[in-house]
Structure 1
Amino acid sequence: MSSPKRRIETDVMKLLMSDYEVTLVDDNMQEFFVNFVGPKDSPYEGGLWRIHVELPDQYPYKSPSIGFQNKIFHPNIDEASGSVCLDVINQTWSPMFDMFNIFEEFIPQLLNYPNAADPLNGDASSLYLRDKKRYLEKVKAYVREFANPSDVRSHNFRRGGGFRMRGRDGKDGKDGDGGEEKEDGDRDGDDGEYDDDDDDDEEELSSLDGSINDDDDDDDEVAGTMDL
């Protein structure tokens, strides 16, 4: 077994034996999902995110690809795709790190200390620099709306206006366990209660967006996106 392959097996086994909930895609140790709990004493506390990880053949000499499957509001995470800024990963990554470090140190540090000067989400970056209080309020609103632990664990979480998961084939539309894509109104069990809460949260998000957009023209020079 080559050194990179051996290292991949060692690091993923360490993660599988930890307290993290890990789901391999087709028993492939180079592609899997990890349920990540928002860091304590942070605006992301109480949320749960399903994170998609892909390890390149050159791992650990090349950094892993990391993407949030359910929506999160953060300057260095693309809101539409959930991708984490590659520059942020590469600036921090070292072959000395392993996947356990990613979830114990890298992601918590990223969430707590965003780099607003090098954003993937220009709106989040602009708001973070302009009005920290309102930024934190919007982060928490996204946590309530998109990172409900029971919905994430049941693969019934929301991205944008509907449900979206990355399937085993890498395409959107099926969850990591092969389940079909779900649209609004197709939830089972006790999800009706969650639907009732959605209206309140959507009103809160709309209210935040409305008050934020009033100043958008003044902040065009602050907001921006980066080329990877």
Structure 2
Amino acid sequence: MNPVTERLMDERKKWRLDPPNGYSANPIQNIDGSLNIFKWECEVPGPRKTPCEGKTYKFTIEFDKTNLRIPLIIYCKSKCFHPNISQHDGYVCSSLKDIWPECGIKQILFSLQSFLEYPNVESVLNNEAASLYKGNREKYNERVQNLNGENKRMYCALIFEK
């Protein structure tokens, strides 16, 4: 077993023994029924006392199959209004890029939750969201709430690069 597979199997075991309330993380199932330990579906609750509260954010995290030092790739299923997430393709630039492998799945998801609340206004991909976040937080919060108001779930994409 290679070091990446070993580490991810260990992460899965740790997660199953002590999953935090409101979060989920599981390797996806391949068409043949086997688990793909390199691709996980995860859910993160919106941070409390923010426009994201009460919503669930669904992520797909991909890990490199051979090298622990290759950055994570995290995808979304739909758009979200956030300064660091491109509305065109879901690409995200984030300072969380170096979190793996020093931190495990649980810490990655906690960091994603924090990222939703505290965008990096120095690395902007959505100028409209960044402008509202910096200049009119009330209107920004309203846009975030309205974006997710119908389905109560928001799907975000994050791609971490070194």
Number of the residue aligned with 2:105? 99
Deviations 1:27-65 (A, max 9, x none): 201112112221112221111122111111245322211
Distance of 2:89 and 2:29 partners within structure 1: 19
Tell me which amino acid in the other structure corresponds to 1:84: V
Structure 2 length normalisation: TM-score? 0.77
CA displacement 1:188-218 (0-9 Å, x = unmatched): xxxxxxxxxxxxxxxxxxxxxxxxxxxxxxx
The equivalent residue for 2:135 is 130
More helix by share: 1
Counterpart of 1:44 in structure 2 is 52
Give me the whole-angstrom Cα distance separating, in 2, the residues matched to 1:109 and 1:30.
24
Taking the aligned partners of 2:145 and 2:88, their CA distance within structure 1 comes to: 18
The structure 2 residue matched to 1:148, chosen from 127, 152, 156, is: 152
Structure 1 unaligned spans of 5+? 160-227
Where does structure 2 lack aligned partners over 5 or more consecutive residues? 157-161
Structure 2 residue 128 is the aligned partner of structure 1 residue 120: no
Indicate how the Cα distance of structure 1 residues 13 and 64 shifts in structure 2: closer, same or farther if over 3 A, else same. farther
Question: 74-83 or 114-123: which moved more?
Answer: 74-83
Which shows bigger deviation, 127-136 or 55-64?
A: 55-64
Tell me the distance in 1 between the aligned counterparts of 2:15 and 2:114: 19
Using CA pairs below 8 Å that are at least 6 residues apart, which structure has the higher relative contact order? 2
Secondary structure of the corresponding residue to residue 103 of structure 2: coil
Q: Using the aligned pairs only, state the percent identity.
A: 25
1:76 and 1:114 in contact (8 A); partners too: yes
Shift, 1:96, TM fit: 1.6
Query: What is the Cα deviation at residue 102 of structure 1?
Result: 0.8
Q: What is the SS of the residue equivalent to 2:131?
A: helix
- 1:29 corresponds to 2:32: no
**Equivalent pair of 2:41/2:58 in contact (CA under 8 Å):** yes
Looking at structure 1, the residues matched to 68 and 8 of structure 2 have their Cα atoms a distance apart, in angstroms, of 8
Counterpart for residue 88 of structure 1: 95
Runs of 4+ in structure 1 off by over 4 angstroms are none
- After superposition, the C-alpha distances for 1:164-211 in whole angstroms (9 at most, x for unaligned) are xxxxxxxxxxxxxxxxxxxxxxxxxxxxxxxxxxxxxxxxxxxxxxxx
How far 1:143 moved relative to its partner? 2.3
SS in 2 for 1:60: coil
Alpha-carbon distance between aligned partners in 1 of 2:14 and 2:92, rounded to the nearest angstrom? 23
Structure 1 counterpart of 2:24, one-letter code: E
Q: Which whole-Å deviations, capped at 9, do the CAs of 1:12-40 have from their partners, x for residues lacking one?
A: 33334525334514120111211222111
Equivalent residue number for residue 114 of structure 2:
109
**How many pairs does the alignment contain?**
149
